[in-house]
Amino acid sequence: MRLANKIAIITGAGAGIGEATAELFVKEGARVVLADLNFEKVQSVAKRLGDQALPIAVDVSKSGQVKAMVDATIEQFGALDILVNNAGYGILGNVVTTDEKAWDDLMNVDLKGVFLCSKHAIPHLEKRGRSAIVNIASTISVVGIKDRAAYVAAKGGVAALTRAMALDHIEQGIRVNSVAPGIIASSYFDKLIAEHPDPEAFKKWNDARAPIGRMGQPVEIAQMILFLASDESSLATGAMFTVDGGYTAW
């Protein structure tokens, strides 16, 4: 019970890494707000997790909705100890081929969403004295990848913002870290594989991209998020923790 009596908000909790994190947090004793653009998805996750989980519809890029999410958390559970900024997505394109609106939309969710959720959550996290924010960055926060210019830029920003927030809020007892997942078999990848003309070959190619020889599972990222959200990581702040099967090691 590593999160006994803790209250957490997890954004993007309707699928993939966010959903796996919510399951683990509830198993470890936390009460969890499952926040997602897709309300049906978080409703069905909450049904499975029981009374410890509260589903909320939110677009993390909209300040008013984010404030309402934090207010609802306080109203329902009385406090907030942990914020997991997980909601995000990637798009294809270099700077020439990326549509300007698509760039703005992605930045508003992947980077501004982290800013907005943190902005509204920190006044409550501060009241608890020993609290944590975990931002989901990516291996592409530190290495380049072709044809993902907006996504690479946003995730680089998430890693940098993590360091800034860690220093700004250390005296308030808030630790801020990021997790950099490698290639994870979440619903995003399931969709890419299903849509590929040769799904089997595409899956094999993705498995071979990391030295470990396979894609990661969402729960393998959730385990690191749990560590950083819990008091077990009490000295860790301002750091990025890579979980990528060796992807950035070669």
Q: Which residues bind ligand NAD (CB under 6 A)?
A: 11-12, 14-18, 36-38, 41, 58-61, 86-90, 109, 136, 138, 181, 183-184, 186-189, 218
Q: How far is the CB of 157 from ligand NAD (least distance, A)?
A: 12
With contact defined as beta carbons under 8 Å apart, do 171 and 121 qualify? no
CB atoms within 10 A of CB 143: 12
- Residue 130 or 191 with smaller CB distance to ligand NAD: 191
- Residue 125 or 183 with smaller CB distance to ligand NAD: 183
Q: How far is the CB of 222 from ligand NAD (least distance, A)?
A: 10
CA-based nearest residue to 134, from 5, 25, 41: 25
With contact defined as beta carbons under 8 Å apart, do 92 and 148 qualify? yes
| Residue 87, Cβ density class (10 Å: 0-12 exposed, 13-18 middle, ≥19 buried) | buried
When CB distances to ligand NAD are compared, the closest residue is: 16
Q: Which of 89, 151, 188, 247 is catalytic?
A: 151
Q: How far is the CB of 1 from ligand NAD (least distance, A)?
A: 25
Active site residue 188: no
Phi, psi of 13, deg, nearest 5? -85, 5
- Residue 5 or 38 with smaller CB distance to ligand NAD: 38
- Residue 129 or 199 with smaller CB distance to ligand NAD: 199
Q: How far is the CB of 76 from ligand NAD (least distance, A)?
A: 18
Report residue 116 as tokens: 């907005």
What is the rounded distance in angstroms from the CA atom of residue 149 to the CA atom of residue 244?
Answer: 20
What is the rounded distance in angstroms from the CA atom of residue 185 to the CA atom of residue 74?
Answer: 33
User: What letter does residue 184 receive in the DSSP assignment?
Assistant: B
- Residue 55 or 181 with smaller CB distance to ligand NAD: 181
What is the rounded distance in angstroms from the CA atom of residue 236 to the CA atom of residue 73?
Answer: 26
Q: How far is the CB of 89 from ligand NAD (least distance, A)?
A: 5
What residues are labeled active site? 151
